[in-house]
Structure 1
């Protein structure tokens, strides 16, 4: 029995060892032919995806950089064009202002000459006692020529626009024009019509002289002013539709007048 048991044990051990060897031999090809190729394919796929994503990111960055560069260039070009346009507009405005100033100087020179002739004629007529050749009104001729300068300035503004609150040089309201005219000869008038109607000496509208300030409304509450220029006419910044004009006093009689020269 012992012998049989030993033989049987030996046989079983041999079978077990052979079975283990066969199992190990059978498992080895599976590890070599299935697991390794699958791992290699996965790594290759991940590497390809990573490379593609990197290229896409690089392309996107380059596109944004190109867009930014183009935008910056467009901004610079626009700034250059804007500066050029500003310089051109400034040059045109300067040229226009110079031309206007030259025209005004020429007009004032001519007006001073005409007014001087009228004053000379009036003085000559008065000294000879002849009234036939005298103008319809005496034109006062102060030694300083203040009245002539005021009237010359006012006539040079005829045709300018009326703008409420305007004080020149190309647009005026009534009191702004009167104030600017007398400032030419060193007379500082108040700014508003109400205040100008109380400046200087009150004179009757039937005893007007060239250079008197006319006002409409009450003394101290006037709503409009102008300047008497002789021959029954006055000059004023009338309203937005007329602008600066010469008008007949008979068509719009003043309520009062003050004399500052």
Structure 2
């Protein structure tokens, strides 16, 4: 079973004592995208990403400083770097070596810049959301840039085992569905409010993180085991095809 999650815009760039690391698989593609971004001014990045002047300037510096190699001196493991709403619920601070090993084998992180990341892959600080319309040699956006490559890489690691999709729609769209050889299960997390089910963005993101953490800590390798997930009051409702967790 393979779990897919989205990256985060918020990054924890503090040093870590964890010395175990791997390197990204799509370094050639990453360098190609970085070379495009290195040519962008702060103003161009501001417009491209729809961000503030400060965030645009920060990311211009990040791309100008981006190194061709991935070393612990200027990069950090992906699972320890991303720090958004999903990741605050993945309890990496208390992970054992065995937890990290299981995550490395069963978790993959989708990324606009890196394509598909293993948890312990070293990454350099960046911002490049998958939905950004960044012109490149293969098209007008990152979906066209990545094409079927991400899906093929997932097939390789999944080996036709089920895929648990805990990524956002923006990122999972980068996984070419015609190429995927596995059954895909996409859990939905909702709140029961005022007599109806509602999807609330923040809570849904946190729930994806909780389920990711649950899978890693409990060594879940069969989707049937996920039906027991009850963190933070969530419970499975619906039939076999409807993986809706509500509270």
Per the shorter chain, which TM-score range? under 0.3
Q: Which has the higher contact order (CA 8 A, sep 6+)?
A: 2
> Higher helix proportion, which one?
1
Bigger CA radius of gyration: 1
Give the TM-score of the pair, scaled to structure 1: 0.21
Provide the TM-score with structure 2 as the length reference. 0.22
